[in-house]
Structure 1
Amino acid sequence: MYKPEISRLYHYQSIELELKNTKDFERRAIVIGDNLFLDKYKLDPILKRQAYFSKATTFNDPFEGVFALSSDVSSINDLMEVLEIAGQLTGFQISDLIHSDTLSNQLAASLQEHPQAITKSFTDQIRQQTGLYCLTADPEDMIMWAHYGSNHSGIALEFDRTPESNCGTMTFEVDYFTSPPEISFGAILRDCIKLSKSKSLIEKANLMSNSSLRKLLYSKTSKWKYESEWRTSNLPGLQDMPGKLVSIIFGYNVKLGVIEYLKSREELKGVSFKCIHPDKSNYKLKMYDEDDITFQVQRVMESIP
């Protein structure tokens, strides 16, 4: 398992409905109190133990996946094999077409004449068809709570990492760079072929950990290094959570009604609840269990005028 010393990973997100228009309200609002609305699109997946895997093309980094790609004609055989595998996966019988000398020659000519266009088109398809779920190893990061935890009024989901789960096996740290790495188009094709033929989760993870696909999907500019991001991948959209949901952590601005509502849900039985609170003695955030006596005393002391 990659970095087994990291036993838990966290996902910051909002939970209240951030109203944009009337249609959003009608479709997504869950009323839990006076002027207190949860977002159905955020709550339902948690109750069903699902996570939304986003396409990299929708991320907030304009340079996400934009790298220099090297290509050579020797990549043609790999490209033909990838196309054949794709045909098998979709059930479309293209074997005769794939083994056509005419097609092979045409692809070779195209790769020679328009290498950047061909390689970019292929890698764009990988990014379009891969869903990513973003995590971090630090549940007390002030900037992450501000940016992704709805300005401290959201939540963080805590996941257990085990060798049997995607969170433990198919989850890796993002690599940060000052100048974009060059990625071989042929290497990407060969890695696609190897992954398609691997049998077990551990085998896939070992291949992915040192692959060109990891460079493509798990790299960002150093401007984002403060996030200390981890990622796991799946098909885009709602999928099973990457690991066991251990706890829900409330930002320090979460309304009491939201806390009481989530704690009352039968679907979250067995999930623990924690709270983030500012430690004013050292200007840091600190995580407490909900029933932590130190936290309760601190709350009472701060409520005294």
Structure 2
Amino acid sequence: MYKYSPFSANLLKTLIKGELWFGKIEDLNDPYEGEFQIRDTSKMPSNESIDEFYKNQSSFIIPRPKGQNHSPHIFHKTFSDFVKNTLRSQFGLTCFSKKNNDVLMWSHYADSHKGVCLIFDQHKLLKSLNSIYPDIKLGEVEYNEELPYVDLITSGDNSSFRYSDREKNVLLNKNIKWDYEEEYRLYRRFENDQRRSVPFDLKSLTGIIIGQRMDSEDFNTLVHLIRNSTNLEHLNLYKMTFKSGVLEVGKNPIHLGIIKDLDINISTQSK
């Protein structure tokens, strides 16, 4: 499992502190993140349960004329806005990919090939994150032409209601135009005062792929960090190359022992 990143202070924090940032949906680059459609807008919970919902959500209160039923259109518009606001403000996620050699992803997420691609052991990473937050989930993104659908589900006595599988259907769904990313996501719901930087075991990070355009100073900073950290000494470092119009990862790890300070001549000899 791979994570593209520019060479930045956030990357260095990840490597030094062993933390992953779970960002908000509203900060992602797809404007349709967190959007969904309601399959049956005629389905309604009881008037009493709707009244209770409005009462508890002061920013979404819509007065209802006495003695009349709620409008399905107004209810679903109000409730869906509330759910979308909850998803966007409270849920955090961090993104990965199945592949490490996509030209567009290196361009978009790794500073035009000047950054890196981190290599994670999927199972070790999830296990270490779950030791902090057991409710962190890993899911594979599905790609569709349309926005995902949700259904209104009510309790047996119609006193409570929710939308079906809102996290799975909405958080793990993107437009078909993004399918080249072959994305995985780790996600959970955070309380307002909870830190979104979640510690993980650095042993689950098994290697780093260096972008073919990485600056020499950045490269040497990275090498210096790996050489001088017992938490990173297990890492393999690879160089991304461009051969016959295709991006390829070097077959052999870079031999850090022969790299001199301020020397960008990256060797591909095996360790």
Which amino acid in 1 is paired with 2:207?
S
Separation (CA, whole Å) in 2 of partners of 1:46 and 1:131: 20
CA contact (8 A) 1:175 1:220 kept: yes
Report the Cα distance in structure 2 between the residues aligned to 1:133 and 1:267, rounded to whole angstroms.
26
Q: 2:4 aligns with which of 12, 15, 18?
A: 12
Shift of 1:219: 0.8
Gaps of 5+ in 2: 57-65, 131-135, 155-160, 257-264
Matched to 2:255, the amino acid is: D
1:44 to 10, 13, 22: 13
* CA distance in structure 1 between the partners assigned to 2:27 and 2:46 by the alignment: 29
2:117 counterpart letter in structure 1: A
**CA distance 1:78–1:260, shift in 2 (3 Å):** farther
Q: Is the 8 A contact 1:140 1:287 kept in 2?
A: no
SS at structure 2 position matched to 1:252? coil
2:81: which partner in 1?
120
Contact 1:176/1:224 (CA < 8 Å) preserved in 2? yes
Give the alignment's TM-score, normalised by structure 1: 0.62
Alignment of 1:147-162 (within 5 A): 147-162=108-123
Please give the alpha-carbon distance, in whole angstroms, between the structure 2 residues aligned to 1:261 and 1:75: 64
Residue 240 of structure 1 corresponds to 199
C-alpha deviation, 1:76, in angstroms? 7.9
Map Cα deviations across residues 194-231 of structure 1 (whole Å, 9 max, x no partner): xxxxxxxxxxxxxxxxx342111111111111111111
Q: CA RMSD in A?
A: 3.7
1:189 aligns with 2:162: yes
The answer to whether structure 1 residue 223 and structure 2 residue 180 are counterparts is no
Q: Percent identity?
A: 22
Measure, in 1, the Cα distance between the counterparts of 2:143 and 2:96: 15
Change (3 A) 1:277 1:156: closer
Q: 5 Å matches for 1:1-305?
A: 9-16=1-8, 39=9, 41-70=10-39, 71=41, 72-74=43-45, 109=70, 113-162=74-123, 165=127, 170-186=137-153, 189=162, 211-234=165-188, 235=190, 237-241=196-200, 244-254=204-214, 255=216, 256-281=219-244, 283-288=246-251, 289-291=253-255
Structure having the larger proportion of residues in helix: 1
Give the 3 Å change call, closer, same or farther, for CA 270–78 of structure 1 in structure 2.
farther
What amino acid sits opposite 1:265 in the alignment? N
In structure 1, stretches of 5+ residues that fail to align are 1-8, 17-38, 84-93, 95-104, 192-210, 293-297
Q: CA deviation at 1:239?
A: 1.2
User: How far off its partner does 1:132 sit?
Assistant: 0.7
Cα distance in structure 1, aligned partners of 2:237 and 2:51 = 52
* Aligned partner of residue 22 in structure 2, secondary structure: strand
**1:177 and 1:170 mapped to 2: Cα distance?**
21
